[in-house]
Amino acid sequence: MLTGSHAINMDAKGRMAIPTRIRESLVASCDGRLVLTAHTQERCLLVYPEPDWQAKLPTIQALPTLDPAARRIQRLWIGYATPVEMDGNGRILVPPTLRSFASLDKKLMLVGLGDKIELWNEEHWLDLLEEPAETEISPELQSLTF
């Protein structure tokens, strides 16, 4: 289970260390093999354990290519997808194209969402938290209780 938020740093070469608790979970579930890609609605990255990525890929590939929204999702989600592997120190290298897409620099936020991780520019993450909540609640969320 990939949960929690972690303030981390990225070095000048684009390497970042995965926090120990998350690293252990990723090593157990996928031997540290991950796929980084662009989020389709936010300027952040998605980090998937490789087996989870492989399971979701056919669904995205099957979207109708004549639908402009589907093409955009495919271009972002599949087009930016980059396999990476954690090194012996639990670090991964974030490619320049993905760093640019998400405006990643030294200070980052790693946010676990259960089956995947979001990787944010720390300033953008903090700005997102300050945004007012949506006033309309979808039917799916109306039945949700905590």
Tell me if 117 sits within 8 A of 49, measured CB to CB: no
Distances (CA, A) of 48 to 51, 69, 126: 8, 22, 23
pTM of the model: 0.90
Residue 139: the pLDDT is: 80
Judge: domain 2-142, CATH 3.40.1550.20.
yes
Average confidence (pLDDT) per 10 residues, the chain, 146 residues:
92 96 92 97 96 96 94 96 96 97 97 95 95 78 71
Using CA atoms, how far apart are residues 60 and 70, in angstroms rounded to an integer? 8
Residue 145: the pLDDT is: 65
Residue 122: the pLDDT is: 97
